[in-house]
Structure 1
Amino acid sequence: MEEVDLEGFCSYLEDSFPDLKEKGVIIGFDARAHPPSGGSSKRFATLAATVFISRQVPVYLFCDITPTPFVPFTVSHIGLCAGIMVTASHNPKQDNGYKVYWNNGAQIIPPHDKGISVAIEKCLEPWSKSWDTEEAMRSPLLRDPYQDIYKKYFSAVQKLCFHREINQKSKVKIVHTSVHGVGHTFVQSAFTAFDLQPPFAVQEQKHPDPEFPTVKYPNPEEGEGVLTLSFSLADEIGATVVLANDPDADRLAVAEKQENGSWRVFSGNELGALLGWWVFQCWKKQQKAEQLKETVKDVYMLASTVSSKILRAIAIKEGFHFEETLTGFKWMGNRGKELLEQGKTVLFAFEEAIGYMCSPAVLDKDGVSAAAITGEFTSYLATQNITLSQQLKAIYEEYGYHITKNSYFICHDQNTIHQLFERLRTFRGPNTYPQECGGISVIAVRDLTTGFDSNHPNNKAVLPTSKNSQMITFTFANGGVATMRTSGTEPKIKYYTELCAAPGNSDLTQLKAELDNLVEAIVEDFFQPKINNLIPRPE
């Protein structure tokens, strides 16, 4: 984060909001630090505040570390023009960055992202007072919203609790790790707000530590490698469920002890199925039976286009609406806000990268509230002698199995990436895509780089397109769907595959074998010509 970046952003806000100097902005930060450079998330947040204060813009700056969800919550709760969260989320320890939120409480999308970039290009000279942090920290324009937002956030979280009596009596033991990030205090408070016994903390990872000394990658999405200490503690105390946040606590991973003593780490899609089903059941029980058929018509759930379509299957049977958006919570947050303004009920949104929005109070993924909801869900199931794994199986048996398999290749060569995707667009000549893969017919293609979608009139895509990123989705005759795309933050080519079966098809072994064969064919047919320049995902 550089001063010229924030100066450009500030200039753009000045042009966009005539009342910027009345309303102001919120700035939060995580616990990252870079001793060699003297930098830290807190230092960057202070510099950002200084830039805005130098332009007489009120700044709400948290006095201490907070989870990322606190920033969009504050934008919406106070009614501010924008928010900044200084964080590198789950990236390696040497990284840092920041997320930007618009006045609607969601991350920025076009045209604001491009408008900010243009404004930054026009502000290449630092403003005279944008480095005077001492004066800025004494300014009456600087306010600390920590205590107020802390209370208001957990007051909002309490509204997501539907089984308080069960929670109060629950004997379920749950382990939680914040993976050296900010999550510990806030997840403890979320459990308290639900009247749940606080989860057992992994002591070695409980306190923020920017060195992340016990893990190779501070990303619970990587699974068992990050959760080793959690499993050890859980086995020691007899806990059956493990919860893990990433360092800025906007994501949540969940694992459960199996009967054979092993641990099952739920994929982001599996947890999306569990939480989506649970949130809907909780909502449904609050409705009057005679009005349900009408009220459910205004209910919406969202998921990113590379995430499982299990919510679509549930929506078709239960009568609510399901929509998919582009990858990233910025799209789900903004679409959620649009629906809310239309008087709709947005119950849930998720992305396969363990991100979950369980309340419109935060129009972004929120690992803190999701942790408490998972705690209540687990406690409720325990009263029925049902495990999370058993409930997931029941969901798939009722709505149809949705088996997913995702991975990625690392590639640092942009030419290789370009050639790989262009080959798929000229498979049998100009403007032709593969017609089959592994002997399975391709029945539809959507290319959100070029705007092509064979499922729509004139072959024009409905979802927004971008020539700056690569993304192609293939739909197969056997019910399989595969998406290949480039990462926006890492040198990766990711692929996402799913096989959707109709309810009643419970031959899971056959379905998994069929998906494995499809993935092998995709890697061989679509990736193989460039495989020498690609590095497989590390195990």
Structure 2
Amino acid sequence: MAPNISVNTGNVTLDEKIKEWLLWNKDPKAAEEVQNYIDNGDIKKLSHLFLKRLEFGTAGLRGRMGPGYSQMNDLVIVQTSQGLTKYLLDTIFDVQDKGVILGYDGRYNSKRFAELTAVILINNNIKVYMYSTVCPTPFIPYGVLTFNCAAGIMITASHNPKEDNGYKVYWQNGAQIIPPHDKGIQKSILANLVPLDASWDVSKIYDSPLYKDPLKEIMRSYYAVLKDDVLYPEVNRNTILKFTYTAMHGVGYNYMVAAFEAANFKPFIVVEEQKNPDPEFPTVKFPNPEEGKSALDLSIKTANLNESTIILANDPDADRLACAVKSKNGDWRVFTGNELGALLGWWMLHVYQVRHPDADLSNTYMLASTVSSKILSSMAKKDGFQYEETLTGFKWMGNKATELIQNGKDVIFAYEEAIGFMCSSNVLDKDGISAGVRVAEMAAYLETMGLTLIDKLDELYAEYGHHISDNSYWICHEPETIKAIFERLRNHNGKPNSYPTSIIGGKYPIIGVRDLTTGYDNTKPGNKAILPVSKSCQMITFTFKNGLVTTLRTSGTEPKIKYYSELCASPEQQNLNELKGILSEMVSAIVTEFLQPEVNGLIPRSS
């Protein structure tokens, strides 16, 4: 029953959408919020909430929680789950037997959204494996493969602000969904918007013969695999290193405890204030360890008090990993995602070669996203393994890994610069739990030779050449402004495919342009890009004559224009200060000339 709310905004279509949502909604608090917007005459807000609809983006939905079709709420979850369920029934013939695995994090409404999804699957006679407590996101793709499920769903907004939540979908191959499934699911959602009465009754889930809690079985299996992959258990047990760990108010603590036990480490020191799930994220401005020292203040304080020299940090759903090391002068060095990618790439190759001394490395692969460092490419050329580049995001790396594995290849590592790491192919997605243990193992092994992670990174750059990056972002809440910025770059001289040819008045010429929004690439035959093209997001890469590669792109989940710049030097170019000076000069010019922050009213990252 719709509450007794009088709707009259002066817009017939808007009035109809508000009435429709109120008719189907069963959350009285959400209805009260809508009433307040109506009473205040906030037509702009009401139009945003009810005339726009969340669409499947980065492998699902992610957005702010609240009423309306453009936000995450019970009704949108019911509609989404009805559409997804119908799509699964139409697409996978044995979905009812295979089942779907479900998980949720510690955010507001996460368990509720998972239960609403579960009951709809059960109502359609689909087996449901739903974790009985909060779990890390990687337990969903791992569970898909372990139970041979038709799909997996994780309710999480990862490291987004506390107001957000998300709905992440994995396909039966254990990787995040990619086209055409995302569009197919969206179409199915729109065809199944009317909520069935049975879709709201979550009381029947736990007594249903179709429900199973997979937690114990996955815990046994996941940690047995993790333990089997440990190369030097005695080194781990005897290391003098003391590790500090933070779960960032997320789900990771218990799972990292189990990981350290499996890898034969002594217990780590925990940041007590951030140990347990807390949807308020009270001690951090942004619950994202990628933000660097600002997010690791408590971790550094805890480590210093306990004479610990290494910090491991998960984001709230434990699929990302950050690491900081105390240097010899007492300062803390927070590794970038690219630096950790270089270290873990070396370590995973080391482990693979020790275990398979006679392996043909030409069948061994590492992957990275196109905006990540080219360090793995440099390593591959020298060491003989294969390197593949994919579009940004683990949905592309996970599916590429699946394709390679099906063709008999070994995929031993994949990463993206946003501190996401896939160490082995047991989880076809980023996994902050296994990555945390691998970094700890590597540090313990290096310590036996008197080396730190910082020392090893310096060795890698000496061997393969410095790869120095400057990655950041500007905030822009106006989609039209973002579009105008990129269109200006595409029409630099007033004609299509006319891009900038240099910066600083010709000082640094541009020799390559790849636009994955339009499909233009002047370095390929017919000027056609090889990587998949997406008109729904902005992404242009400029390659400069001196070796700098810069990518400008929009975020699929946040109001940001991101830039990624890397200067790749040869091993002979070891003057780091000189290289840093060139990188700084070029990035500053790229921001000023290409993004024009002042002209476009962009908000800097630090604000």
Deviation at 1:418, TM superposition (A): 1.0
Give yes or no for the alignment of 1:159 onto 2:228.
Answer: yes
Give yes or no for the alignment of 1:299 onto 2:364.
Answer: yes
Deviation at 1:532, TM superposition (A): 3.8
SS in 2 for 1:93: coil
Structure 1 residues 260 and 529, CA, compared in 2 at 3 Å: closer, same or farther? closer
Give yes or no for the alignment of 1:480 onto 2:548.
Answer: yes
Aligned residue among 136, 140, 153 for 1:84: 153
Aligned residue among 10, 17, 29 for 2:92: 17
Matching residue's letter, 1:363: L
Aligned residue among 193, 206, 213 for 2:262: 193
Distance in 2 between residues matched to 1:29 and 1:472, nearest whole Å:
35
**Per-residue CA shift, 1:183-224, capped at 9, x if unaligned?**
011111111111011211011111111111111110000011
Deviation at 1:450, TM superposition (A): 0.2
Aligned to 2:56: none
Aligned to 1:36: none
Give yes or no for the alignment of 1:278 onto 2:347.
Answer: yes
Aligned to 2:219: 150
Distance in 2 between residues matched to 1:160 and 1:445, nearest whole Å:
41
Distance in 2 between residues matched to 1:4 and 1:286, nearest whole Å:
49
Distance in 1 between residues matched to 2:289 and 2:97, nearest whole Å:
40
Aligned to 1:333: 398
Give yes or no for the alignment of 1:30 onto 2:105.
Answer: yes
Contact 2:516 2:538 in 1 (8 A): yes
Aligned residue among 575, 594, 600 for 1:507: 575
Contact 2:99 2:150 in 1 (8 A): yes
Aligned residue among 417, 433, 438 for 1:368: 433
SS in 2 for 1:148: helix
Distance in 1 between residues matched to 2:211 and 2:524, nearest whole Å:
51
SS in 1 for 2:198: coil
Distance in 2 between residues matched to 1:229 and 1:180, nearest whole Å:
12
**Per-residue CA shift, 1:388-432, capped at 9, x if unaligned?**
111001001101110000111111111111111011011123120
Matched ranges for 1:43-82 at <5 A: 43-82=112-151
Matching residue's letter, 2:339: E
Deviation at 1:530, TM superposition (A): 6.0
Distance in 2 between residues matched to 1:263 and 1:227, nearest whole Å:
10
Matching residue's letter, 2:541: T
SS in 2 for 1:215: coil
Distance in 2 between residues matched to 1:173 and 1:197, nearest whole Å:
9
Contact 1:161 1:194 in 2 (8 A): yes
Aligned to 2:6: none
Distance in 2 between residues matched to 1:529 and 1:6, nearest whole Å:
40
Deviation at 1:366, TM superposition (A): 0.1
Give yes or no for the alignment of 1:441 onto 2:509.
Answer: yes
Aligned to 2:17: none
Distance in 2 between residues matched to 1:447 and 1:324, nearest whole Å:
16
Give yes or no for the alignment of 1:523 onto 2:523.
Answer: no
Contact 2:369 2:391 in 1 (8 A): yes
Aligned to 1:251: 320
Deviation at 1:127, TM superposition (A): 2.2
Aligned residue among 533, 551, 565 for 1:465: 533
Deviation at 1:160, TM superposition (A): 2.3
Give yes or no for the alignment of 1:344 onto 2:409.
Answer: yes
Give yes or no for the alignment of 1:496 onto 2:571.
Answer: no
Matching residue's letter, 2:351: C
SS in 1 for 2:164: coil
Contact 1:160 1:373 in 2 (8 A): no
**Per-residue CA shift, 1:308-332, capped at 9, x if unaligned?**
0100000000001101100000000
Aligned to 2:388: 323
SS in 2 for 1:506: coil
Aligned to 1:394: 459
Matching residue's letter, 1:493: I
Aligned residue among 291, 294, 302 for 1:233: 302
Distance in 2 between residues matched to 1:531 and 1:313, nearest whole Å:
38
Deviation at 1:137, TM superposition (A): 2.7
Matching residue's letter, 1:143: K
Aligned residue among 196, 206, 210 for 2:279: 210
SS in 1 for 2:190: helix
Which segments of 5 or more consecutive residues in structure 1 lack a partner in the other structure?
Answer: 34-39
Distance in 2 between residues matched to 1:136 and 1:282, nearest whole Å:
44
**Per-residue CA shift, 1:456-502, capped at 9, x if unaligned?**
10011000001111000000011100000011000100000000001
Distance in 1 between residues matched to 2:520 and 2:328, nearest whole Å:
48
Distance in 2 between residues matched to 1:110 and 1:198, nearest whole Å:
43
Contact 2:481 2:600 in 1 (8 A): no
Contact 2:597 2:603 in 1 (8 A): no
Matching residue's letter, 1:108: I
Q: Which has the larger radius of gyration?
A: 2
Aligned to 1:110: 179
Matching residue's letter, 1:164: P
Aligned to 2:202: 133
Matching residue's letter, 2:314: N
Distance in 2 between residues matched to 1:531 and 1:167, nearest whole Å:
54
Matching residue's letter, 1:514: I
Contact 1:306 1:483 in 2 (8 A): yes
Deviation at 1:503, TM superposition (A): 1.2
Aligned residue among 472, 477, 492 for 1:407: 472
Deviates more, 1:210-219 or 1:524-533: 524-533
Aligned to 1:356: 421
Matching residue's letter, 2:103: G
Deviation at 1:166, TM superposition (A): 0.7
Distance in 1 between residues matched to 2:597 and 2:301, nearest whole Å:
43
Contact 2:105 2:136 in 1 (8 A): yes
Aligned to 2:80: 5
**Per-residue CA shift, 1:125-151, capped at 9, x if unaligned?**
012311111123321111111100111
Distance in 2 between residues matched to 1:21 and 1:364, nearest whole Å:
25
What is the number of equivalent residue pairs in this alignment? 529
**Structure 1 stretches of at least 4 aligned residues deviating more than 2 Å after TM superposition:** 529-532
Aligned to 2:19: none
Matching residue's letter, 1:332: M
SS in 2 for 1:129: helix
Distance in 2 between residues matched to 1:530 and 1:448, nearest whole Å:
26
Structure 1 residues 452 and 530, CA, compared in 2 at 3 Å: closer, same or farther? farther
Matching residue's letter, 2:517: T
Matched ranges for 1:373-388 at <5 A: 373-388=438-453
Distance in 2 between residues matched to 1:497 and 1:415, nearest whole Å:
25
Matching residue's letter, 2:536: N
Deviation at 1:529, TM superposition (A): 7.0
Deviation at 1:538, TM superposition (A): 1.4
Contact 1:160 1:359 in 2 (8 A): no
Which segments of 5 or more consecutive residues in structure 2 lack a partner in the other structure?
Answer: 1-71
Contact 1:54 1:136 in 2 (8 A): no
Matching residue's letter, 1:65: V
Matching residue's letter, 2:558: E
Deviation at 1:281, TM superposition (A): 1.0
SS in 1 for 2:346: helix
Q: TM-score, normalised on structure 2? A: 0.86
Deviation at 1:359, TM superposition (A): 1.6
